[in-house]
Amino acid sequence: MIFGCPASILDMSKMFMNAICATSIGVIFSLIWLRYMKKKKIENTKVFFYNPLSEKNCKCRNNLDINCIASNCSITNTKEIIYCLKNATKSIDICVFTISNELIAHVIITAYKRGIFVRIIVSNCILLHSKEIKRFQNIGIIVKYQNDDQNSFMHNKFAVIDSTWLIHGSMNWTRQATFENWENFLITNKESLVQVFSENFEKIWLTI
């Protein structure tokens, strides 16, 4: 007499094994995908334009209210720069013509006081003696500027945050640029761009 498992039990065992195999394969592919996505950083780029005619009478022009809710207020663009600086966890490298925007200066100083490594390069011009630049120097932030040719200017306008984010555009970080000029800037984490600007910041820093 030959004994064996009923067909229904064999079928159930087969289905159970298939389910285990399918689940295992699914888990493996999920782990591979998660690891791939972790390595592959999602690129994010935003572009902003300033229009000096949009909010000529906005009250925040006088009190620099970062929470201004006017629909076209220029301060909403500047807020993006401020948020990017506020989110720094390691370093802020700034290379701009000058800094005289009180809001931006305040967030830079706050970042430095909470331990962020801050380096600033500005142009050697009359604005080198602005109130904001003096505040940076007084608390210990290293500020460099070119001192070789009075007829040339360090005219770059960019910043690299945590070697991960780039702020770059036409605007100087001034009140004039914020409220009076037609300006633009972008914020991006595109690795190829961040790397190029980081490398050139180091070259300028070591040169001047």
What is the side-by-side strand order in the sheet with 91-95? Answer: 45-50, 183-188, 165-169, 158-161, 91-95, 117-122, 142-145
Out of 65, 79, 144, 162, pick the active-site residue. 162
For the question of residue 162 being annotated catalytic, the response is yes
DSSP string covering the chain: ------HHHHHHHHHHHHHHHHHHHHHHHHHHHHHHHHHSPPP-EEEEEE-TTTTTT-THHHH--TT---TT-THHHHHHHHHHHHT-SSEEEEE-S-B--HHHHHHHHHHHHTT-EEEEEE-SSGGGG-HHHHHHHHHT-EEEE--S-TT------EEEETTTEEEEES--BSHHHHHTS-EEEEEE--HHHHHHHHHHHHHHHHH-
Out of 134, 157, 168, 190, pick the active-site residue. 157
For the question of residue 93 being annotated catalytic, the response is no
For the question of residue 65 being annotated catalytic, the response is no
Out of 59, 90, 113, 155, pick the active-site residue. 155
Residues 6+ apart with CB under 8 A from 83: none
Which residues are designated catalytic? 155, 157, 162
